[in-house]
């Protein structure tokens, strides 16, 4: 089977389930023998974007770097799974334009749900004023207007969300019909 490259770009608040669903997808791709790569926002910040802060400019630079790597991989036939908050719509649109084969997945969860899931205590620190420029608290998050897939992670299991994404990838011609299932 000839594999077509595509970037699956997860966006959503911290704790919305982006990385969890990304790893479910990765397992499915691994089992099928597909070439894929995960670019997780936290991992990229530690390696590719070390030294960047959380100002709008630094966040945009981080997303551009992730997008550039995703572009290189995608054009070489790799399925790229990006899981990064990427709070600003304009920079997501810029990355979409650069990559071309781009499927935006909005991990939608109410702020309260994200705070309940917060194992690192980041929301608590942000509410206490210890973390400045924290997305969803002191910094905005701009929801996608036209995401190809919206996963309501407060109502769906990670497996249901992953299947919804796989179904959309089949519809768009990035995956063969064997990946189709019930959402």
| Cβ neighbours, 10 Å, residue 49 | 19
C-alpha gyration radius of the chain: 16
> Which residues are annotated as catalytic?
86
Long-range contacts of 110-118 (CB under 8 A, 24+ apart): 110/154, 111/13, 111/136, 113/15, 113/16, 113/153, 113/154, 114/13, 114/14, 114/15, 114/16, 115/15, 116/15, 117/15, 117/17, 118/14, 118/15
Report the residue count for the chain: 183
Residue 20 CA to residue 98 CA, distance in Å, equals: 26
Which candidate, 178, 111, 180, places its Cα nearest to that of 143? 111
Coil vs helix vs strand at 141: coil
Which candidate, 93, 90, 109, 112, places its Cα nearest to that of 150? 109
């Amino acid at each position: 089977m000839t594999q077509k490259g595509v970037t699956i770009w997860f966006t959503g608040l911290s704790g919305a389930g982006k990385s969890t669903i990304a790893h479910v997808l990765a397992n499915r791709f691994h089992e099928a023998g597909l070439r894929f790569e995960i670019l997780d926002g936290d991992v990229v910040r530690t390696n590719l974007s070390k030294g960047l802060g959380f100002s709008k400019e630094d966040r945009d630079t981080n997303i551009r770097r992730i997008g550039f790597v995703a572009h290189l991989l995608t054009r070489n036939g790799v399925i790229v799974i990006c899981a990064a908050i990427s709070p600003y719509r304009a920079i997501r649109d810029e990355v979409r334009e650069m990559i071309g084969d781009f499927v935006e997945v909005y991990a939608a969860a109410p702020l309260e749900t994200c705070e309940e899931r917060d194992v690192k205590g980041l929301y608590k620190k942000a509410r206490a004023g210890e973390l400045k420029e924290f997305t969803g608290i002191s910094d905005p998050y701009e929801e996608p207007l036209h995401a190809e897939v919206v996963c309501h992670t407060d109502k769906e299991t990670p497996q249901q969300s992953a299947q919804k994404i796989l179904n959309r990838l089949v519809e768009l011609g990035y995956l063969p019909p064997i990946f189709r299932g019930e959402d």
